[in-house]
Amino acid sequence: MALGLSIVLAMLFMSKVYPQQIYWTGLNFELVFGRSGAVLVVLDQHPFDQQGRSLIGNRSVDEEVIALENSTVEMGVLLFSATTGGVNYNVVSHSQVDLSKSVFCNLGFSEGMKTFRGAITTTFKIMLNTTTSLTRISDDTYQVVVADFYTASDPQSWIDAIDFRFTDGVALLNYSFSPSWAKAPTTTSADHLSWVNENEADAPDYYVFTLTIPDVIFSTALVKLEGKISQAQVISGQSTLSVKVRNTGQSQGTFIVQVIEGKYDQARKVSLSANEETSVQFPLHIAEGTVQVSLLAEGSTLDRSELQIGVGQTSTIPEIIRFLAYALLMVGLASLVLHLMDRTAHAHV
């Protein structure tokens, strides 16, 4: 979404990034796949204010976005890999204002999508054979999973528009996307797929492609992440689910914790070192039923658990009230007996 980059960056750098100007950023990606297994990534950003007015040309905002180039590129790398560690990537063209470009984004208002003139453009290249997104199927046939880092990091962020282009002998055999209710591509051809996402619900979390890539060479073994759901429980007295997950593998990586309850689907991304464990909390929207918890990485489900909430559970509050009622009754009876005994004693005097 247009809120995507600025909100994610705000969470990471709030203390020093936006001391004066609060703004949102439209995000447009173009990913060009080549025969060597290299992907050229062109990211166009357009900052705008709370009223939907363009901030391109605002010197302080332009400088802030450009100064965050390293973090911006790293987040782009996370589209292809669970971690930036060990990934071969390099900046081809540093961040700069290009007024000849346009950025398509949703301002969050009733008018929906809008085209802004001008963009802060950053271009970098990633070698797929050093990422966790590439899986060999047979010979020159591969599966590539592109994960939307933004939707997983914040429920109010997403990529507004993303183009996938297949060139130089790379052939698109088939594609899919998830979740199933996400929006289908707006443009489809043999060498081009394009998505325009008006909101987070439209935006796929994963784009999955089966490609023929002629000249990929695996110089090193790919890192495969492993993880487990250690515990999932409702916090007593709160409508909150606490999920504890552990990285059971030997490599640091980024995992996605997904919680599905009825029609509600939530996800959080966490980065864990080898054997590290952490807890993630989710608000619950249903009082009774089944909650499905999944741990995902690299486009695969590593672990899954189901939790029944509100079914066969008894609250401790009614028990306390019942105990107090019995106690008060006994105190009342005891007082009555003592009163009657006292009256009887006085009657005999």
| Residue 96 per-residue DSSP state | E
Q: Please name the residue that has the structure tokens 């063209």.
A: 93
pLDDT at residue 107 in the model: 77
- Domain annotation for the chain: domains and CATH numbers: 4-212 (no CATH), 227-309 (2.60.40.10)
What's the confidence (pLDDT) of residue 318?
A: 46
Q: Is 61 helix (H, G, I), strand (E, B) or coil?
A: helix
Please tell me the total number of residues recorded for the chain in this structure.
349
Beta strands in 52-167 (DSSP E): 89-106, 113-127, 134-138, 141-147, 161-166
Please give the pLDDT value at position 349: 47
DSSP assigned state of 55? -
Give 203's Cβ-side CA count (13 Å radius). 29
Amino acid at 21: Q
- Beta strands (DSSP E) in the chain are 24-33, 38-48, 89-106, 113-127, 134-138, 141-147, 161-166, 171-178, 187-189, 192-196, 206-212, 227-234, 240-247, 253-261, 264-272, 277-283, 289-297, 300-309
Pick from 329, 306, 134: nearest CA to 213? 134
Provide the whole-model pTM. 0.61
Q: What is the DSSP letter of 336?
A: H
pLDDT given at position 192: 97
Residue 323: predicted pLDDT:
54
Alpha-carbon Rg for the chain in angstroms = 28
Kindly give the interhelix angle for 59-67 and 69-77, rounded to the nearest 10 degrees: 50
Query: How far is 232 from 291, CA to CA, in rounded Å?
Result: 10
User: How far is residue 87 from each of residues 34, 126, 130, 205, 282, measured CA to CA in Å?
Assistant: 17, 8, 5, 21, 31
CA-nearest of 160, 167, 168 to 194 is: 160
What pLDDT, on the 0 to 100 scale, is given for residue 333? 61
Contact 253, 87 (CB under 8 A): no
Output the pLDDT for position 100. 96
State which residues of the chain have pLDDT below 50. 1-19, 220-221, 312-320, 347-349
pLDDT by residue (tens digit) across 177-222? 988 888 899 999 999 999 998 888 888 989 999 999 999 876 544 5
